[in-house]
Amino acid sequence: MNGGQSDRPLVIFGVGELAQLAYYYFTHDSSRRVAAFTVDRTHFRENQCMGLPVLAFDEVDTRYAPEEYDMFVALGYTRLNQVRAEKCLEAKSRGYRLATYVSSRSVTWPDLTIGENCFIMEGNVIQPFVRIGNNVIIWCGSLVSHHVEIDDNCFIAAHAVISGHVKIGAHSFIGINATLRDKITLGERTLLGAGALVTASTDENTAYLAASSQEAGVPSYRLQSLL
């Protein structure tokens, strides 16, 4: 496996939920120590997060120099991961190497190819011959089957099933519980809503949304014998 595994201490970009989770996972399940958080000066509110200092991004290198510290950009999927991708570029241009985390509670194999600024949470099953690009977040409990290729800047929510030989184009968002049949290709910036079932390749900039369950018109108390 590759993708920036190292003992170097870390500065996390962001202070939101994902940043707090990143702090927790890196702290409890990696060899890295989180030293500080950083946010854009326009977003600066508190000077501490999780008991650690928060610095404005424009001055973070004065105390946490890129020669000594790596960075992890902990932003979500806003604008199909564009915001996170841009911040990764900015951090790299400031000289930071970007850290990748793969949960020890996921199943992976030694040949996994994975880029920088990836975050793979617990309970994922990632089979052999998988390639994951840069800046890919995979939440918990998904199957990434053999020979799958995931391009840069994607976000895969919990419990997706990605069958063998699927290719996922850059900046795609795969919603919770989505299912992708084998050997298809998702074009760049494909959006799959929660529970989508995709059985054919998609064009770029397309969205696939599953129908939500409808209110059944029968009161829940009439169904209590089922519960």
Which residues define the annotated binding site?
Answer: 76, 176
The span from the CA of 71 to the CA of 11, in Å, is 5
The nearer residue to ligand COA, 37 or 155, going by C-beta atoms, is: 155
Binding residue (CB under 6 A) for ligand COA from 57, 193, 198, 202: 193
For 59-98, b/e burial (b = at least 16 CB within 10 A) is ebbeebebeebbbbbbbebeebbeebbebbeebbeeebeb
- The verdict on 168 binding ligand COA (CB under 6 A) reads no
Of 99, 142, 175, 188, which lies in the binding site for ligand COA, with binding defined by CB under 6 A?
Answer: 175
Q: Is 194 in the site for ligand COA (CB under 6 A)?
A: yes
Closest among 187, 30, 37 to 121, alpha carbons compared? 30
Q: Does 157 help bind ligand COA (rule: CB under 6 A)?
A: yes
Binding-residue total with ligand COA (CB under 6 A):
8
Annotated binding site for substrate: 76
Assess 169 for contact with ligand COA (CB under 6 A).
no
Residue 207 contacts residue 189 (beta carbons within 8 Å): no
Minimum CB separation of residue 154 from ligand COA in Å reads 13
Contact 105, 123 (CB under 8 A): yes
Taking CB under 6 A as the rule, does residue 160 contact ligand COA? no
Q: Which residue sits closest to ligand COA, CB atoms considered?
A: 193
Query: Which neighbouring-strand residues pair with 72?
Result: 12
